[in-house]
Structure 1
Amino acid sequence: MKNLLLMLMLVLAIAGCSRYGYVSLNYPTAPVAYLPEDVNSIAAVNRSLTREEDRDEKIVEAIITTEVAGSDRLASDESIKGVYDAILGLENVLLIIPATVKMYGTGTRELPELLDWNLVADICKTEGADALLVLETFDSNTDLLVSTATSQAAAILSTGSPVPALPGQIKMNVACYWRLYNPKTKLIIDQYQHNSYTSFDIQGGIIPPHALPETAYEAGRAYVERFLPSYYVVRRDLYKRTSGSAKHQFMAGYRRAEVANWQGAIEVWSELSDHGKRKTAGRACLNIAVANEVLGDTENALVWAKRSYEFYDDKLGRDYSKILLRRRNIEGF
């Protein structure tokens, strides 16, 4: 947590005439999945393609699900592109897209059997990769038919007859199943099924040509994000001002905080932390606590939060102390 400052997004809010301000912090959370340490390069292949002899069956499915026949064939490659771009966020990991490997699967949401491990090893050896990422299935559809039927049903109930109306918006769905093969251990490093949804405006019942590629691309990015840290936002309240003779000095500290000069704010508030007026001292201690957390010193933040309540009965300090104690129990800072 000492270098937490590098990962924080700080937003100091001004709440009009309120005596409170707040700062929002983004704290990192661990990735959902991890790559083995010896995996530095990954070959990615698309196995969701349909063989020529299976095209008729796929076209029937497309009609039923309001999918554009043949569109998945092109859009599935967009998912691979999404993986390629997103993996740049992983340190020391290279993605390789083989130019000559063409693989066929079910062409539907039905999951195929595992690839033969000898084939996995051959592809990785040829491409110089440590692992093989396979898009096992890719399937898309929209809710156009359902939305149209719902609109017609609503029109019949309200007017007694259907109206020639089409929905103004559709939801595009892309379902992907990914497997990450390790040729050395002959184990599946990761496997994950994911549904991506994106809404698009339509006119005259025509689905925008960019709807499916964009949704497919985001589906690829979503897979890689499992290996990246995510963040949760926390809000920390602090005081903007106090009353009496120290009000101008107190506000000077807050102004420093507004421009992210937290160390300078601490210097100002420290001079007021033992002020003769208990309310002012308690507020100064509370603000010093928040400033320390912003700077990554959570242990010192807890010390000052406790002091604001124990010495000066500041209720905000009491609540903040409990929050920091819970954080320490969970994260062990």
Structure 2
Amino acid sequence: MKNQSLLLLALVALISWSCGTSSTYLEVLQPSQIVLPDDIKVVALIDRSKPEKGFANFLEGMVSGEDFGQDREGRRLAMQNLTTTLTRTPTLQVKGTGLEYNGLKNGKQMLPPMNWNEVQSICSKYGADAMIALESFDSSSDISYSQSSYKSKQKDGTEVIKYTHTARRNVRVYMGWRVYDAKKRVVVDENTVSQYDEDSATGDTQDKARTNLRSQLTAVRDLAAKAGDAYGKRIAPVWVNVSRTYYTTAKGADKNAMEEAHRLTQANKWEDAAKIWHDLLSSARDPKTKGKAAHNLALAMERNGNLKEAEDWAGKAYTQYGNKTSQSYVYVIQQRISDQERLDYQLKKVKP
């Protein structure tokens, strides 16, 4: 797997080099979907979705084809990724409690909200203003099969019909969350979510095709982890890494200048690189180079947080210099400007 990852990175680098582009990452504070009350600054996490023990639940798992411990692992990964995501927000401090409570037998449904005296007791113990609870968790899957035929020649020249079997597994994870405001005794968010994924694999037989599928346990773990991350982003602004592409080469007399600017970016000297791109707007002989330089200037402005200037440069790269790639970049910057307006409002809500 490690060798495959290195090969993929090398392939991406080769494609970027051949296209005369490179990629860089920006750390961006992404606004949340909802705004929690101002006085919630510390949250305690609990798991209230633990299934009851008993033969009935064991039998249900056998009938549904669940891997041993897959829901337990899914719950753990959902809580773990929620915690990890919330460590990347400037608005909340997270307190893990390790507390587990039994949920309903039907993991797709939530119990009524927890008793407020108990909520306040937990929050008081962990110094929290609110409590986030995983209220329900369930996973399910189904497998379907298909086959196709093809002709194959034997060594003696005769043709035989062979079959390729395809197995497709649909995996679903269901989760419910609540945020309890301990002081106001109000559930400030209640959210149910389902994550879905499909795997497919082939083999000479139906059994081999099924064996070649990613394990059901792995699929549930991956979906649960994504759901935990998604809920963290729902309730709090979170720092995320975003990728941006910029130009590194040009033709003719402009080649050396563009390559020098690229080396400066690799040394994290973006302001010096921006000076070269500015010069190329007047000195470049190839109109395409001017479009590349304007596009790169938009990225330099975005890196500095000057989003309106970034939008202007990306717009010029497209409208004045005909760089088609910059059209989509304009939309990206416009979305960032909209997000920033929401973020400014959210951060003002939590500033002392």
Regarding TM over 0.5, the answer is yes
Q: Secondary structure at the match of 2:49?
A: coil
Q: Is 1:95–2:110 an aligned residue pair?
A: no
- Letter of the 2:37 partner, please give it: P
Gaps in structure 2 of 5+ consecutive residues: 1-12, 150-163, 202-209, 342-352
- Answer yes or no: is the 8 Å Cα contact 1:45–1:103 preserved in 2: no
CA distance, structure 2, for counterparts of residue 124 and residue 58 of structure 1: 31
Q: Indicate the SS of the match to 2:50.
A: coil
1:229 aligns with 2:228: no
Contact residue 270 and residue 284 of structure 1 kept, 8 A: no
Q: Structure 1 260/218 Cα, relative in aligned 2: closer, same or farther at 3 Å?
A: same
Question: Which residue type is aligned with residue 109 of structure 2?
Answer: E
Matched with 1:122 is 121
Give me the whole-angstrom Cα distance separating, in 2, the residues matched to 1:209 and 1:250: 49
Distance in 2, matches of 1:79 and 1:308, equals: 43
Alignment of 1:225-304 (within 5 A): 225-226=233-234, 227-229=236-238, 238=247, 240-244=249-253, 248-257=256-265, 259-275=267-283, 279=287, 282=290, 286=294, 289-290=297-298, 292-296=300-304, 297-301=306-310
Taking the TM superposition and a 5 Å limit, the aligned residue runs for 1:95-174 are 95-97=95-97, 102-143=101-142, 147=143, 150-151=144-145, 154=146, 170-174=169-173
Whole-angstrom CA distance in 1 between matches of 2:214 and 2:325: 58
Once residues 231 and 299 of structure 1 are traced to their aligned partners in structure 2, the CA distance between those partners, rounded to angstroms, is 21
Q: Deviations over 1:165-188 (max 9, x none)?
A: 997675543321111111211221
Task: Pick closer, same or farther for the CA change 1:225–1:242 going to 2, 3 Å.
Answer: same
Task: Give the secondary structure class of the aligned counterpart of 1:136.
Answer: strand
Q: Higher mean Cα deviation, 67-76 or 88-97?
A: 67-76
Residues 192 and 256 (structure 1), Cα distance of their counterparts in 2 relative to 1, 3 Å cut:
same
Structure 1 equivalent of residue 50 of structure 2: 49
Q: CA RMSD in A?
A: 4.8
Between 55-64 and 197-206, report the one with greater CA deviation: 197-206
Q: Secondary structure at the match of 1:97?
A: strand
Residue 220 (structure 1) aligned with residue 207 (structure 2): no
Amino acid at match of 1:93: Q
CA offsets per residue over residues 41-69 of structure 1, 9 Å max, x none?
333333223445xx344344334322358
Rounded to whole Å, the distance in 1 between the matches of 2:213 and 2:287 is: 64
Aligned residue number for residue 8 of structure 1: none
SS at match of 1:48: strand
Sequence identity, in percent?
Answer: 19
Please state how far the C-alpha of 1:31 moved relative to its aligned partner.
2.0
Give the letter aligned to residue 39 of structure 1: I
- Structure 2: which amino acid aligns with 1:46? D
Deviations along 1:121-163, one digit per CA (max 9) or x if unpaired, are 23323443321222221112232xxx2xx33xx46x97xxxxx
State the structure with more CA Rg.
1
Structure 1 stretch displaced more, 43-52 or 269-278 = 269-278
The number of residue pairs the alignment matches comes to 301
Q: 1:228 to 1:66 in 2, by over 3 A?
A: farther
What is the one-letter code of the residue matched to 2:269?
N
Distance in structure 1 (CA, Å) of the matches to 2:340 and 2:83: 35
Shift of 1:93: 0.8
| Higher normalized strand content (fraction of residues) | 2
Unaligned runs of 5+ residues in structure 1 are: 1-10, 159-164
